């Protein structure tokens, strides 16, 4: 375990991450178990809709538990009493993570199901690229960046829609 002073992750951060991953994994398992099993139409345990999400949720919870053990061994409980103030780089990372989370929530809760799926996906990808594809080394003019973002967004939305609807046979909202 490395320390935050050397650029590593603190045991306290691992503890917080472990709790979040375990909670997310267990919530996914609970939702998977609550799904209809389609036993009335002859579905087996291997064809039930909640099988793969349940396994993925259990995997997340299990990995979260491993992270919890690692954090506790590294002294996470002792670090809880110490004050915490993020560095300038840490504040920048928190800000970017918050913006990414907000964009994802707007997409998942505000656009999917309310807009045509390819349009919602294209808008999300476009916004994400416009917000995060800023290189201080080789900055692109705004118009060119918007053009690249639009082309990428349309191609992404079209390919995702095609793959899910035509190959996986999933009806998209």
Query: Over the stretch 111-126, which tens digit does the pLDDT of each residue have?
Result: 999 999 999 999 999 9
pLDDT value of position 2: 45
Neighbouring residues of 58: CB distance < 8 A, sequence distance ≥ 6: 25, 29
The confidence score (pLDDT) of residue 157 equals 97
* Rounded Cα distance, 106 and 171, in Å: 21
**Could you tell me which residues are beta bridge partners of residue 115?**
112
Contact between 67 and 17 (Cβ < 8 Å):
yes
Structure token digits, residue 114: 């309310």
Q: What does the alpha-carbon distance between residue 4 and residue 48 come to, in Å, rounded to a whole number?
A: 44
Tell whether the model's pLDDT for residue 87 goes beyond 60. yes
Q: What distances in angstroms separate CA 69 from CA 57, 74, 77, 98, one per listed residue?
A: 18, 9, 11, 27
Instruction: List, for residues 47-72, the tens digit of each pLDDT value.
Output: 788 889 999 999 999 999 999 999 99
pLDDT of amino acid 8: 58
Q: Give CA angle at 22 (20, 23), nearest 5°.
A: 65
Locate the domains of the chain by residue range. 1-84, 85-173
Q: How far apart are the first and last CA of the chain?
A: 44
Q: How far apart are CA 165 and CA 158, in angstroms?
A: 10
> What proportion of the chain, given as a percentage, has pLDDT over 70?
95
Residue 3 has pLDDT above 70, yes or no: no
């Amino acid at each position: 375990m490395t320390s935050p002073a050397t650029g590593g992750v603190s045991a306290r951060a691992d503890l917080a991450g472990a709790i979040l991953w375990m909670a997310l994994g267990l919530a996914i398992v609970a939702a998977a178990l609550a799904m209809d099993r389609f036993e009335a139409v002859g579905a087996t345990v291997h064809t039930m809709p909640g099988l793969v999400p349940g396994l993925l949720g259990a995997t997340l919870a299990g990995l979260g538990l491993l992270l919890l053990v690692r954090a506790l061994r590294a002294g996470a409980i002792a670090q809880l009493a110490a004050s915490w103030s993020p560095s300038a780089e840490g504040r920048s990372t928190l800000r970017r993570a918050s913006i990414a989370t907000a964009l994802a929530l707007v997409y998942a809760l505000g656009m999917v199901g309310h807009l045509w799926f390819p349009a919602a996906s294209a808008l999300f990808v476009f916004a994400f690229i416009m917000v995060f594809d800023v290189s201080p080394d080789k900055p692109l003019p705004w118009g060119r960046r918007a053009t690249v973002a639009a082309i990428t967004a349309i191609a992404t939305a079209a390919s995702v829609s095609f793959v899910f609807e035509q190959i996986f046979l999933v009806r998209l909202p």
